[in-house]
Structure formats: C-alpha cells, structure tokens
C-alpha cells in the first residue's frame, strides 16, 4: 500500500478507500492560526464542547501581527484566553510561523493533522497526513468529530538524481506546478518517492509539501526515513519518530518522474504560481524589492544559505531586501552563530518571525514594483500593491538577485552553498503556553472587534435571484475576500469585511449584492483556489449569496460553501456558462425537494433569457443535511 492510504486506513472512521468516494477520518492533531482561528474558536464555542478532544491542538498567532489599532491585539487576547479555557496550546506572537513551528516541535510521522490554513500540508515533509480545511471543519475536529473528505487518488512523484549547486527544493515544486498547473492536484495526494527523496532534508521536503497547496492537492506527503529521524533527534523529539514508508509493491494512480539533476532555477511570474519559466529564459528583470521568508522558505537551512550569499557584500542600492526568519528557533540560531549579523551588515531589513510580507501584512512594494519573493502565492493584489508584480523564487535566487539588483541565476555565484543539518536545533518551548486544567473557569476576553458570525437560514423550497457577477477561471479566495494589513484586522467582523467582497473582480459588487438582497455567482474553473479562509464563504453568506454556479471548484472552498449552506453547482455542459450574463434572473425551483431526495441533477432556469440548463450538485448524505439545515452549525444545533 502507498503511504497515503496506509495513514488513511489507520484513521478511517467511515467509508472505503476508493478514490472519489466520501470518507471520514479521525484527526490526531489540529492547528489554527490567528487570521482564521478567531472564527474557528467562535464556532467551537458555539458547539458548546468544554474541552478539545484531540491528542494535540495548537493555536498560533503569526498572521495579524501589525498592531496599528486595537483590533489585532483584541483578537490575540481572545485567542490567548479561549485556548487556555478549552485545552489548546498557544504559540505566542514572536514564536514563529505556524507551519514552520509545527514541523519543528509537533509534527509526528503517520499521524493526521487538520489545520485552518491551506499550507498545513507542510508537515507532510515529516511523513504526516496534514490537510488544510476551513475553520469550522477544524472546530469540529477539535470537538472530537471526524473530518470528511473525498478519498483522494494518489500521484507518485518519483524523484531521481540530485539537485545541482544553486538549484533548490523550491525549484522542484515550481517544476511540479509547471507540469500540473494550479488545478492539476485537485482530488489528489502527491506522494514523493524514489532515490532522490534521500537527498532532500526535512526542511527541503517541507518546502515542496508546503507549496503542493498551490496545485489544489488534498495534501503532499514524504516518507519518514532516516533523514526524518535525524531531524527529529536534532529537535530533541526522537522518541516521537516512527518510520513510515510506502510498501515495496505500493501502487499509484499516476506517476510523474522528475530528475533532480536536470532542474535549473525557476521563477513563477505574476500573477499565478504555475506561470513558471526558467530564470535563464526570463532574463535580468530589474528588481525593486526582495523578500525572503514565509512558511515555504524560512528554515534554518534556507536562512544560512542566504546569509552565506550575503556575507561581506552589500544589497544593490535600488533594492529593498526584507528577511523574515520562520521561527524564533531559526532567528535564535542565526543570532547565535553570527549569520544574522551577516544579513544585517549586507543591508537586510529583518522583520519579525511571522507571515508578514507574504500576506500583505506590511512591506507592500512601491507602485509598479517588481518584487522577488520566496513565498508560495503571487496572486493579484496580495502584496497590498495592486500594480506590483510578484515573482516567486528560491532563497538562493532571491539572495543573488538582491545583490545584483536584477533577477539572477544563483548558479553563477562563487559562494559555497553547502549548509550542514545541525546536530541540535536551539529549541525552547517557553513561548508555547499550556492550557488550564480541565474544569477551569478561565475568563474569555472579547474585545469590541469580535462580532457574531452570520448564520444561514434553512434551505428554501425554491431559490431565486440575479446573477450578480460572472467570473473567469482560477478565481482565488483572495479575490473573493481580499486581505491585507488593512482588512486582516477585521477577520472577526464579517459586516465590515463584506464591503470588500469580490472587489478585485468588480468594485461595485458589494453594493449591488446588498441592493439586490443577494443572488447567485457564475464562475469558471477552479473557483475558490488558494487560501482556506472561510471568510470567502461567510461574507457571501452575509451578502445572501444563495449559490455559486461554476465550471469547477477548489476543494477547501467548496467544503466551506457547503458548511455555510451555500449551494456549489457545476455546469453539466460547460458551454452553458456562455449563456449567462450579469443581471439574468435565475431560479432553482423545488430545490429543497431535490436536495432532500439526493437528486444530483439540478435544473437552473434563466428566467430572463427563457431557458433552463442542467447543473450537477453532488452532495454526500452528510452534506445534504448541512445544506438543508442552512449550514453545519445549524445542523449540529438541531441534533443536540
Ligand atoms: C494564506 O496564505 O493565504 C493564508 C493567509 O495563510 C490563508 C489563511 C487565511 O486566509 O487566513 C491560507 O492559506 O489558508
Ligand atoms: Fe503565512 Fe504566507 Fe504561509 Fe499563509 S502562505 S501561512 S500567509 S507565510
């Protein structure tokens, strides 16, 4: 059996392991971060369960770090107090980016992890089955519930050869993105095998697993082998190591072979992570900003390679170089061995160990800037500057380019880029705050920024409304619910956020949706890719969006829509997409009866144009219940 199915089998609660069928699995660990976590804990509280029932649940504060008003600090305080009360460990601001810290301190091979962040698969670098989900699904897992998903098919990415000097793990995942595109991983787990795996350290594997999220994959997983054991030993956690390997006769649904020796430095051009070219063919584009860090590329090994490149040199006068080490552990080690000073002397601006620039929480580049970044997403506007172009590169390419002022192939450097895995990392868990004992009466502090979340009504017999917006392929959750340093502070304030819903597509959308009293959205393929933010469903719910009719959906967003009682319908014949226009009056007649009867073909009437077309609504019995009740919270409440 392949590794993915071994872990799924060990955690299977319901269903059979047949690709495409719904299964439910037990969740050992959960992870939340602050930008999705506030909502997840509000939902957890609404479920009325006194204490989390997982083996381990950790809440990280790493996203909403700029405190330019009271809002973020209020959310932090809420998280600090709600986690204390309900049995969740809290990683304080300053301890690091959730995925980096979780890999260092908590990931365990063979276990399951559900996280309210789409890059939760990072822990797949250590042989864990780590899946990103909406906050509500994570809240259910914390309360002891299982997690339901479509049983994935498994793609074997067979690695051979060895990376050449100056070519990095980041280039491996950019190559996978080039081959498969941002929708190529939907419904699949990427399982890495082959002799090339041994040549990659755990942090390098984590970089690859992390950015597997950009393929739309359910997750990515590496075997837990001697490299994993060495990493865990250096973290003082060898006792948690379990060998996890695919069986010798493991089978896969498809295999992609990548010869690591044949790769060259790659770059994803604006505005999609699969818009990949070689650095060589892209040429010497002038750079205004270089940002190094994020959960993709901020490990000790990454940072040491950057420090080596920068040592004794000065950043190009026209470039602003920003470096955000991924965790306090990494920052501490750089400080201790002097590498931090090499970075500072070269002219780097060191920012706190947090998501920072990656989520537009500061460091927005200048108008029309070219910004080279080591993170995983270059979606339009995500940096906080709409006119800027974000280019995704490896740490080596970023550092080399910061010195030259233009996109530079790091293979041309004469620096020795070898960095050994340390015998011991500088670990210290004193910023992980342990929860209070069970049965405590700890107070939960709610500042004025914490607003109640919207709840859907039970599904009506017939739904009508206007097509409010028609969108192209690959609309991201950043389009649906933009977030930057100005909007992130309102993650627990849905009415405020609703004023910005879908504005990157159409500035007039929120006002029109409100005036019309809600309606429908028409979309192309892969609607809702990217971030797991549930706000991309909660805000449309608040605006009374009743359904989204698309060519196809991204996994997490589709689940978030259903969890919140919004219908995800797909065109049976894609050509019907062309027959809809904005303002067309739409009707889903007898929809309640159809959903209750498990009918999968739903006729959509276009009353304006006088035709009906067929759409597909595939819901498991569990999901039917949620849609009928008007969302998961309503369903849970009705069952209590
Ligand atoms: C992201 O990288 O887009 C985020 C911010 O980490 C999101 C979560 C969010 O929107 O808060 C994610 O990837 O899920
Ligand atoms: Fe944070 Fe960026 Fe990673 Fe999201 S992708 S968790 S914003 S560092």
Please determine, for residue 262, whether its predicted confidence score (pLDDT) is greater than 80.
yes
Say how far apart CA 570 and CA 617 lie, in whole Å: 7
**pLDDT over 90 percentage in the chain:** 97
Residue nearest to atom 1 of ligand 2 (CA): 355
Backbone angles phi, psi at 3, to 5 degrees: -65, -40
Q: Is 97 in the pocket of ligand 2 (CB under 6 A)?
A: yes
Strands 320-324 and 349-350: parallel
**267-276 per-position pLDDT tens digit:** 999 999 999 9
Say how far apart CA 150 and CA 168 lie, in whole Å: 32
Ligand lying closest to the C-alpha of residue 376? 2
Token pair, residue 298, equals 């901020």
Say how far apart CA 593 and CA 624 lie, in whole Å: 11
What pLDDT, on the 0 to 100 scale, is given for residue 636? 86
**pLDDT over 70 percentage in the chain:** 100
What pLDDT, on the 0 to 100 scale, is given for residue 455? 81
Report CA(98)–ligand 1 centroid distance (Å).
Answer: 11
Q: Is 404 in the pocket of ligand 1 (CB under 6 A)?
A: no
Give the three-state DSSP class for 391.
strand
Report CA(59)–ligand 2 centroid distance (Å).
Answer: 15
Say how far apart CA 58 and CA 51 lie, in whole Å: 13
Q: Work out the pLDDT band at 224, boundaries 50, 70, 90.
A: very high
Q: For 582, which DSSP code?
A: T
Q: What is the arithmetic mean of pLDDT over 200-228?
A: 98
Q: For 263, which DSSP code?
A: -
Q: Work out the pLDDT band at 454, boundaries 50, 70, 90.
A: confident
Torsion of CA 90, 93, 99, 101, to 10 degrees: -70
Token pair, residue 390, equals 């974000």
Give the three-state DSSP class for 569.
strand
**Please, are residues 74 and 450 in contact by the beta-carbon 8 Å criterion?**
yes
Q: Is 34 in the pocket of ligand 2 (CB under 6 A)?
A: no
Q: Is 355 in the pocket of ligand 2 (CB under 6 A)?
A: yes
Q: Is 315 left (phi over 0), alpha (psi -120 to 50) or beta?
A: beta
Bridge partner residues of 571 (DSSP): 615
| Cα first-last separation, the chain | 39
**120-167 per-position pLDDT tens digit:** 999 999 999 999 999 999 999 999 999 999 999 999 999 999 999 999
Q: Is 376 in the pocket of ligand 2 (CB under 6 A)?
A: yes
H helices of 143-225, in order, are 169-180, 202-211
Token pair, residue 445, equals 């502090």
Q: Is 214 in the pocket of ligand 1 (CB under 6 A)?
A: no
Say how far apart CA 20 and CA 398 lie, in whole Å: 40
Say how far apart CA 156 and CA 402 lie, in whole Å: 36
Q: What is the arithmetic mean of pLDDT over 305-326?
A: 98
Report CA(15)–ligand 2 centroid distance (Å).
Answer: 33
Give the three-state DSSP class for 68.
coil
Say how far apart CA 269 and CA 408 lie, in whole Å: 14
What pLDDT, on the 0 to 100 scale, is given for residue 81? 98
Say how far apart CA 595 and CA 223 lie, in whole Å: 41
Bridge partner residues of 69 (DSSP): none
Say how far apart CA 6 and CA 12 lie, in whole Å: 10
| Beta-sheet strands, E only, within 451-504 | 463-470
Please determine, for residue 84, whether its predicted confidence score (pLDDT) is greater than 80.
yes
CB-based contacts of 385: which residues, under 8 Å, 6+ apart?
364, 365, 366, 367, 369
Q: Is 35 in the pocket of ligand 1 (CB under 6 A)?
A: yes
Q: What share of the chain is helix, strand, coil (3-state, %, to 5)?
A: 35, 20, 45
Q: What is the arithmetic mean of pLDDT over 317-326?
A: 98
What is the average pLDDT value for the chain, to the nearest integer?
A: 97
What pLDDT, on the 0 to 100 scale, is given for residue 452? 81
What pLDDT, on the 0 to 100 scale, is given for residue 450? 85
Please determine, for residue 318, whether its predicted confidence score (pLDDT) is greater than 90.
yes
Report CA(466)–ligand 1 centroid distance (Å).
Answer: 30
The 3-class SS string of 322-340 reads EEECCEHHHHHHHHHHCHH
Give the mutation target among 375, 485, 530 for probing the ligand 2 site: most ligand atoms within 8 A of CB. 375
**612-640 per-position pLDDT tens digit:** 999 999 999 999 999 999 999 899 888 87
Q: Is 155 in the pocket of ligand 1 (CB under 6 A)?
A: no
Say how far apart CA 255 and CA 252 lie, in whole Å: 7
CB-based contacts of 191: which residues, under 8 Å, 6+ apart?
2, 3, 4, 154, 155, 156, 157, 220, 221, 246, 252
CB-based contacts of 426: which residues, under 8 Å, 6+ apart?
329, 332, 333, 336
**Please, are residues 330 and 299 in contact by the beta-carbon 8 Å criterion?**
yes
Backbone angles phi, psi at 604, to 5 degrees: -110, 120
Q: Work out the pLDDT band at 309, boundaries 50, 70, 90.
A: very high
């Amino acid at each position: 059996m392949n590794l993915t199915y071994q872990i799924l089998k060990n955690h299977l609660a319901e269903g059979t392991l047949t690709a495409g069928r719904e299964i439910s699995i037990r969740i050992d660990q959960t992870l939340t971060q602050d930008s999705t976590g506030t909502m997840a804990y509000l939902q957890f509280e609404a479920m009325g369960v006194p204490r989390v029932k997982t083996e381990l649940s950790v809440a990280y504060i790493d996203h909403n770090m700029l405190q330019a008003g009271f809002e973020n600090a209020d959310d932090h305080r809420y998280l600090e107090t709600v986690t204390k009360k309900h049995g969740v460990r809290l990683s304080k601001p300053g301890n690091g980016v959730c995925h980096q810290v979780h890999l260092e301190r908590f990931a365990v091979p063979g276990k399951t992890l559900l996280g309210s962040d789409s890059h939760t698969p990072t822990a797949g670098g250590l042989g864990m089955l780590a899946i990103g989900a909406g906050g509500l699904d994570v809240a259910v897992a914390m309360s002891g519930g299982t997690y339901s998903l479509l049983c994935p098919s498994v793609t074997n990415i067979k690695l051979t050869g060895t990376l050449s000097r100056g070519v990095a793990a980041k280039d491996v995942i950019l190559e996978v993105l080039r081959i498969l595109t941002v929708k190529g991983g939907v419904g699949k787990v990427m399982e890495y095998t082959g002799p090339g795996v041994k040549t990659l350290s755990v942090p390098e594997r984590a970089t690859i697993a992390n950015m597997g999220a950009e393929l739309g994959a359910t997750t990515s997983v590496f075997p837990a082998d001697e490299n994993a054991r060495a990493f865990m030993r250096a973290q003082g956690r060898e006792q948690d190591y379990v060998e996890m390997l695919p069986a010798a006769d493991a089978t896969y649904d498809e295999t992609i072979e990548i010869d690591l020796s044949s790769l060259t430095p790659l770059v994803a051009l604006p505005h999609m992570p699969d818009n990949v070219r070689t650095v060589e063919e892209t040429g010497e584009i002038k750079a205004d900003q270089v940002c190094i860090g994020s959960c993709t590329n901020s490990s000790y090994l990454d940072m040491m390679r950057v420090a080596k490149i920068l040592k004794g040199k000065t950043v190009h006068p026209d470039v602003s170089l920003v470096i955000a080490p991924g965790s306090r552990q990494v920052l501490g080690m750089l400080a201790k061995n002097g590498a931090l000073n090499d970075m500072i002397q070269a002219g780097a601006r060191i920012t706190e160990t947090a998501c920072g620039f990656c989520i537009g929480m500061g460091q927005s580049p200048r108008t029309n800037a070219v910004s080279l970044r080591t993170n995983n997403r270059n979606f339009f506007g995500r940096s906080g500057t709409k006119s800027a172009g974000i280019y995704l590169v490896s740490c080596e390419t970023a550092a080399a380019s910061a010195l030259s002022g233009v996109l530079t192939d790091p293979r041309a450097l004469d620096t020795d880029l070898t960095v050994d895995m340390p015998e011991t990392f500088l670990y210290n868990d004193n910023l992980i705050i342990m929860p209070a004992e069970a049965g405590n009466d700890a107070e939960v502090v709610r500042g004025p920024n914490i607003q109640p979340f919207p709840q859907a009504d039970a599904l009506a017999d017939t739904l009508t409304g206007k097509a409010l917006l028609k969108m192209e392929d690959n609309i991201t959750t950043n389009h649906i619910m933009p977030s930057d340093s100005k909007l992130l502070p309102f993650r627990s304030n849905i009415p405020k956020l609703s004023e910005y819903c879908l504005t990157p597509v159409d500035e007039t959308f929120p006002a029109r949706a409100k005036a019309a009293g809600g309606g429908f959205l028409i979309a192309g393929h892969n609607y809702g890719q990217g971030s797991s933010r549930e706000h991309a469903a909660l805000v449309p719910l608040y605006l009374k969006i009743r359904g989204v009719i698309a060519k196809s959906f991204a996994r997490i967003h589709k689940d978030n829509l259903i969890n919140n009682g919004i219908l995800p319908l797909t065109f049976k014949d894609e050509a019907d997409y062309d027959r809809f226009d904005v303002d067309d009056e739409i009707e889903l007649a007898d929809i309640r009866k159809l959903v209750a009867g498990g009918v999968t073909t739903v006729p959509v009437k276009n009353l304006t144009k006088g035709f009906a077309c067929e759409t597909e609504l595939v819901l498991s019995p569990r999901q039917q219940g949620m849609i009928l009740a008007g969302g998961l919270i309503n369903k849970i409440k009705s069952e209590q």
